[in-house]
Amino acid sequence: MNEYVKRTIIKEEIPSAFLDAPRPVKVYLPPGYNELLSYPVVYCQDGNDFFTMGRIATIANQLILEEGMEPILIVGVSVERSKRTSEYSPVGSRHTLYKRFFCEELLPFIEQRYPVRPHAQHRVLAGDSLGGTVSLHLALDSPQLFANVLSLSGAFFQPTLDQIKQAPDLSWLRLWMVVGLDETSVETHLGRFDFVDYNRRTKAALEQKNAQLAYTEQPGDHLWGFWQKVLPDGLRHFFRKGR
């Protein structure tokens, strides 16, 4: 078990002209990390939550060492609770600035310092709730940068549905989506929502645009206790051995 617990996580600060302060990130390096190789990368919204409550570093170690999953880098991008909705929601006042930070500052910073593969098909955007929302909007806005989204109970409400319906063919987009069957009345900063209904509507809208979709509903609530359990399946989907 020691192998799974022992992990390399580096703390960085990304300077930003778009945000009002440098943005802390955590970078997980896989077992056997070698700067002469190149790696796919997962960019996580709510980065601290993915590492602490999602235990993504421990999960990745286990999948790499036990199941032969392809080694990956994981970048957890932190967020201040008070600014989360304004940055992650498509109607938030800081949403556009956050997306510019992500594409124009975060990606170049990581790619200058780490041997990650600089192609859309080797980048996965991961997020829970509104983190799933901003991940999908980043991909819809910048298909040249992002082709993969891992969504844990994404907060996909009307503005997201509208953008999907306006989009051209989305056959380039790969999504892994999960929602908990107990998420029928979730209290959020934006009001109370039936996440199951909205995820089903989003699934249908994405399928109409030919997105490559792996969609699942499982018993669970809008909590990290549920998301931590399903996270290994999401990582396997994108990085399983021999994919």
**What is the percent of the chain where pLDDT is above 90?**
92
CA distances from 81 to 41, 49, 51, 88, 134 (A): 25, 11, 16, 11, 15
pLDDT digits (tens, 9 = 90+) for 127-181: 999 999 999 999 999 999 999 999 999 999 999 999 999 999 999 999 999 999 9
Could you tell me which residue, 3 or 208, shows the higher pLDDT?
Answer: 208
- Alpha helices by DSSP H, listed for 6-106, are 47-52, 56-67, 81-88, 95-100
Q: Which candidate, 189, 211, 37, places its Cα nearest to that of 139? A: 211
pLDDT digits (tens, 9 = 90+) for 200-214: 999 999 999 999 999
pLDDT digits (tens, 9 = 90+) for 44-56: 999 999 999 999 9
Burial 1-27 (b: 16+ CB within 10 A, else e): eeebeebeeeebebebebbeeebebbb
Q: For residue 85, name the pLDDT band (cuts at 50, 70, 90).
A: very high
- Look at the chain and count its residues: 243
Could you tell me which residue, 148 or 4, shows the higher pLDDT?
Answer: 148
Q: For residue 243, name the pLDDT band (cuts at 50, 70, 90).
A: low
DSSP H or E stretch at residue 208 = helix 195-208
Q: What's the total number of domains in the chain?
A: 1
Contact present, 10 and 27 (Cβ < 8 Å)? yes
CATH number of the domain enclosing 37: 3.40.50.1820
Give the residues across from 12 on adjacent strands: 25
**What is the percent of the chain where pLDDT is above 70?**
97
Q: How many CA atoms lie within 13 A of 111 on its CB side?
A: 15
Predicted TM-score (pTM) of the model is 0.96
| Amino acid 236: pLDDT | 98
- Domain carrying residue 129: 2-239
| Amino acid 188: pLDDT | 83
